Chain A
Amino acid sequence: MGFTNNTHMSQYIPPTAMHYVTGTWTDAAGAVTDTICKHKAAAAQTAVVNVPIVLPSNSVAQMGAYLETIEFDYELLLAAATSVTAVLNKVTRGADGAVAVVSVPAITQDLAAAVAAATENQHKLTVTLTTPEWIDNDVYFLLEMSLVCGGTVTVDVLGAVANFTLRV
């Protein structure tokens, strides 16, 4: 059998796959006709969106997916937010009877949390792992986005894209 190592793979993650806590979130049409989003109604609160990074993994070291960056597409409407901050959580699943363990790999986000990421606008925020990781079969990643909103701003989450190398 052959062996392949493709360094340019990506995976779209729709807003319907994400996990929303705090706020009133609904399926809605996007600001651009025929797009979709998860829409947060205006309210002064901090909403947390977790993006599950749905990629293949592998039980053999340095095989499967090598996660490098994640892009998060969203819109802030009617007003700027206070901040939009990304944290990448690495969840190591527990054995039966044991809890999962969470660690926080170092990342950078290209848009400053309380500045460029928070303006009233369309946004494509890129998170880059300082040290990319091969995803073990007992591990998954959650991109946790904290959106600190004032009373006027509404949020539309359009989706995300994970960029990775696939070696199989």
Chain B
Amino acid sequence: MIHDTALSQYIPPTLFHRVTGTWTWTAGQVADTIAAHVAAADQTCTVNIPICIPSNSVANQGAYLTSVEIDYEILTADCDAFSAVFNKVTRGADTAVAVVAAQTFTYDAGHDTAAERLDVDQHKMTLTLSTPVWVDNDVYFLIELTIDQALTTVVELLGAVANYTLRM
């Protein structure tokens, strides 16, 4: 049996799901990096990050999701607000809807106040599940970011990393 507590999975910005705003693929602020870039506008965008890690139909097997790190940059002006929700989606059977349950989590010490999350800067924000979860095969997780831009705020999303234990 393999039981590795230090696995991580990079999730590129090209997999992010973006609603509201004019989003484009751009070069990042650092040469040769990539970003999902939203143009300046006074608006609230919703971005969902799909957590693409293995799952398993056997209890206590597969991936044990513990935390997710999100790398982003806020440019030109602070956001009005920037927050995250950690959603667990249980898929529906055929003809049934999915069911969503928000998970309890904590922000890292550098992002546990609203002011720390929204300022002009490079950010690496870590969301840690209060109760880590073995990922069942009928379940997936979405990190939902709500990004409230000021009129001149530009945001660039660089990617995310999911941290988990793999047991198989």
Contact = CB atoms under 8 A, between A and B. Distances in A.
A161 B140 CA distance: 10
Interface string A149-167: 0000000001101010010
Interface in A9-30: 9-17, 27-30
Interface stretch (B25-33, B67-75, B97-105, B118-126): B97-105
A12 B140 contact: yes
A110 B94 CA distance: 10
B94 A27 contact: no
Given A10-B54, A36-B142, A122 B95 contact: yes
A125 B94 contact: yes
A73 interface: yes
Contact of A11 (B52, B85, B92): B52
Contacts of B142: 34-36
Interface centre among B19, B50, B97, B98 (most CB of A within 10 A): B98
A121 B52 contact: no
Interface in B62-118: 62, 85, 87, 89, 91-100, 102
A122 B97 CA distance: 6
Given A16-B50, A17-B15, A32-B100, A124 B93 contact: yes
Contact of B62 (A9, A36, A110): A9
Contacts of A123: 94-95
Contacts of B46: 29
Interface residues of A, number: 39
A148 B92 CA distance: 23
Contact of A161 (B87, B94, B137): B137
A8 B97 CA distance: 24
A168 interface: yes
Contacts of B128: none
Given A4-B168, A28-B19, A34-B144, A12 B52 contact: yes
B100 A35 contact: yes
Contacts of B152: none
A73 B137 CA distance: 13
Given A30-B98, A36-B17, A168-B2, A12 B168 contact: no
A112 interface: no
A29 B100 contact: no
15 contacts: A4-B168, A8-B61, A9-B168, A10-B57, A16-B50, A27-B18, A27-B19, A32-B97, A35-B98, A35-B142, A73-B92, A121-B95, A124-B92, A158-B91, A159-B50
